[in-house]
Amino acid sequence: MSCLNSPVIPCDQCQKMPQTPLRCGGCYSAFYCNRSCQKVHYKSHKAHCKPMSQRIIEGMTPDRPVIPASLRAEASNNADSDYECLICFENFPKSKMQRFADCGHQICIECNKKHYISRLESAQLTEDSSELSSVITCPFCRGNTRGPDVTTDPTHAYYEKLKWAKTGFGVNETNLEHEDLVHVVRRAQTVLLDYRNIDGNLEFLEAMRFAASGLDSIISRSESPLYCLPAFCTRIEIHKYLHEWKECVDKCSELVGDGKCLELSNEEDNLPSSDGKYIEEDSKDTFRMKIFLIQVQAMMELKRGFGEEIEAIFKLLGMYLHFKSFDANADTSYSQEWASLQAADTRLFYQLHAAYFCEIGKHEECIQFSETVVEMNPLSKEIYMPIAKSKRALGDLDGAIEQMRIAVKREEPWFVGNRERNEKFLKELIWEYNEEMMGGMDHAEWHEAYSNAMDKVKAGGGAEEESDQWQFISAYRAKFNKSE
């Protein structure tokens, strides 16, 4: 490292202006206040220093005091250098900047995305992708400045999808043909699938807005309810993914509550689905259940009140039980799988209704609904305690004990609190059962029964920890340890 007597060269690490800056002895292009700054900066400078040093050795002597301007510019124009975006005025490395080829103006990638989207929104594009570059002009020159090469831009895929989405929803005809309907709805479904996993992203919101506009045009202009049904359903899906729960409830109520699904099922042999295919006769109830589940989820998100939630859940239960009565040709496997996934997604089955039914005294409904949930998803451990409580309230202690034993078995060992709670409730049930079976025995008689149970356990090796003797022993200890 050599010293220079120039006070105007800033330190590449701390940006201060040292009186005698030190210059890197490898590439002769980096300057520092002292060796400490050089040591800290070397980790990022190393990748650029070594290739530059090799070129210096090959083309000139190391002690040459002046480095050519081209090499100095190349050394400073690396990934660690900061460039100021002319729109947001934030600093970014070169890799995060987008440069317009003709005028040389540079903006960051995020501002470039917003600029592209605004131009796409105002432009009248066709299916010809070559028009995309012609409408993207420099935001400062506002002239026919050739923009960046979109085919090599890292965000080109987003722009193409947005253009495709927008041009697919130009529905201006009063009389819609079925092929036009399928074309628009397919585009909306594709956009929905592409963007629904990036909630809050600007491209997602813009694409959904374009899709919703086209679907609304179909719904408002179509005279036949059969033609507007798939557009209606896709519109509901868009409301759902945009978390527009009030609009979602209103649309679902209009579709389900006014009987459109039922009316169409009775009048038409087949219904068109949102992907352009047709819904067979045995899948119409699946279709209705899908719409209804979305409605119930939206109601839950809006927290419209206990009464409405319970009423909706009862309707949902009736719809699912109707599935179970289908013939062998019915699409029951799909409906059960879909309903189970939706239940887990909306937290309807596991966190609300079974416990509510039990608490409000609707024990038969609690058992009926909870057993249906267990049938759809046997791993739902939280559902067994409401079943046990309801069965105990109805006088079925055997059934309550059986349910709690299943809950204790299926609870993961690392959930200590849940396991202890389940075991405690199981002991209470067994105690009630034994007390009911053995009548009014006094303490001495209980102690004798306890001794007999211990003898049976010892004779059997003590391996059957879930036997009736063990459960009686556990209940006895829990009871009399507390009382004594």
Find the helix packing angle between 245-252 and 225-241, rounded to 10°.
160
Does position 234 have pLDDT exceeding 60, yes or no?
Answer: yes
Mark whether 381 and 419 lie in a shared domain. Answer: yes
- Asked if residue 19 lies in contact with residue 36, where contact means CB atoms within 8 angstroms, the answer is no
- Asked if residue 320 lies in contact with residue 369, where contact means CB atoms within 8 angstroms, the answer is no
Mark whether 71 and 54 lie in a shared domain. Answer: yes
Mean pLDDT of 58-81: 44
- Strand positions, DSSP E, 249-405: 271-272, 278-279
The fraction of the chain above a pLDDT of 90, given in percent, is: 0
CB under 8 Å to 215, separation ≥6 — which residues? 169, 184, 185, 188, 231, 232, 234, 235, 238
Q: Which pLDDT score is estimated for 338?
A: 44
Mark whether 95 and 174 lie in a shared domain. Answer: no
Could you give the C-alpha distances from 475 to 387, 408, 446, 450, 482, in angstroms and in order?
21, 15, 11, 10, 11
Of 24-38, 107-121, 141-155, minimum mean pLDDT range: 141-155
Give the CATH number, domain containing residue 425: 1.25.40.10
Mark whether 42 and 177 lie in a shared domain. Answer: no
> What is the spatial distance between Cα 107 and Cα 194, in angstroms, rounded to a whole number?
27
Does position 220 have pLDDT exceeding 70, yes or no?
Answer: no
How many Å separate Cα 163 from the centre of its chain? 25
CB under 8 Å to 408, separation ≥6 — which residues? 419, 422, 423, 426
List pLDDT tens digits, range 371-412: 766 765 666 666 778 888 888 888 888 888 888 888 888 777
Strand partners, 97: 108
Mark whether 277 and 380 lie in a shared domain. Answer: no
Sign of CA dihedral 156, 162, 166, 169: positive
Q: Which pLDDT score is estimated for 92?
A: 83
3-state helix vs strand vs coil in the chain, percent to 5: 65, 5, 30
Find the helix packing angle between 416-438 and 468-483, rounded to 10°.
90
> What is the spatial distance between Cα 374 and Cα 301, in angstroms, rounded to a whole number?
24
CB atoms within 10 A of CB 26: 20
Residue 327 counted as domain residue:
no
Does position 182 have pLDDT exceeding 50, yes or no?
Answer: yes
* Domain stops at, among 127, 155, 183: 155
Mark whether 173 and 315 lie in a shared domain. Answer: yes
How many Å separate Cα 177 from the centre of its chain? 36
> What is the spatial distance between Cα 164 and Cα 460, in angstroms, rounded to a whole number?
74
Q: What letter would DSSP give residue 462?
A: T
Residue 339 counted as domain residue:
no
Mark whether 465 and 419 lie in a shared domain. Answer: no
* Domain stops at, among 320, 336, 364: 320
* pLDDT confidence tier of residue 55, bands split at 50, 70 and 90: very low
Mark whether 405 and 280 lie in a shared domain. Answer: no
DSSP string for residues in 126-157: -S-TTHHHHH---TTT-SS-----TTTSTTHH
Mean pLDDT of 14-24: 74
More confident residue, 386 or 183: 386
CB atoms within 10 A of CB 154: 9
> Would you call 476 exposed, middle or buried from its count of C-beta atoms within 10 A (0-12, 13-18, 19+)?
buried
* Domain stops at, among 320, 355, 377: 320
Rounded (5°) CA angle 159-136-101:
110
Give the chain's mean pLDDT. Answer: 61
> What is the spatial distance between Cα 469 and Cα 368, in angstroms, rounded to a whole number?
31
Mark whether 128 and 176 lie in a shared domain. Answer: no
- Asked if residue 476 lies in contact with residue 457, where contact means CB atoms within 8 angstroms, the answer is no
Residue 342 counted as domain residue:
no
* pLDDT confidence tier of residue 254, bands split at 50, 70 and 90: low
CB under 8 Å to 253, separation ≥6 — which residues? 295
pTM attached to this predicted model = 0.34
List pLDDT tens digits, range 416-436: 777 788 888 888 887 777 766
Mark whether 130 and 209 lie in a shared domain. Answer: no
Residue 401 counted as domain residue:
yes
How many Å separate Cα 189 from the centre of its chain? 17
> What is the spatial distance between Cα 465 and Cα 436, in angstroms, rounded to a whole number?
22
Does position 14 have pLDDT exceeding 60, yes or no?
Answer: yes
Provide the pairing of β-strand 91-93 with 82-84: antiparallel
Mark whether 290 and 150 lie in a shared domain. Answer: no
Residue 329 counted as domain residue:
no
Residue 392 counted as domain residue:
yes
Residue 227 counted as domain residue:
yes
Maximum average pLDDT range among 36-40, 94-98, 211-215: 36-40
Query: In one letter, which amino acid is 187?
Result: R
Question: How many domains, the chain?
Answer: 5
Give the CATH number, domain containing residue 239: 1.25.40
Mark whether 119 and 243 lie in a shared domain. Answer: no
Residue 55 counted as domain residue:
yes
> What is the spatial distance between Cα 317 and Cα 205, in angstroms, rounded to a whole number?
35
Q: Which pLDDT score is estimated for 203?
A: 57
The whole domain housing 31 covers 2-79
The two three-digit tokens of residue 42, written as one number? 């070397």
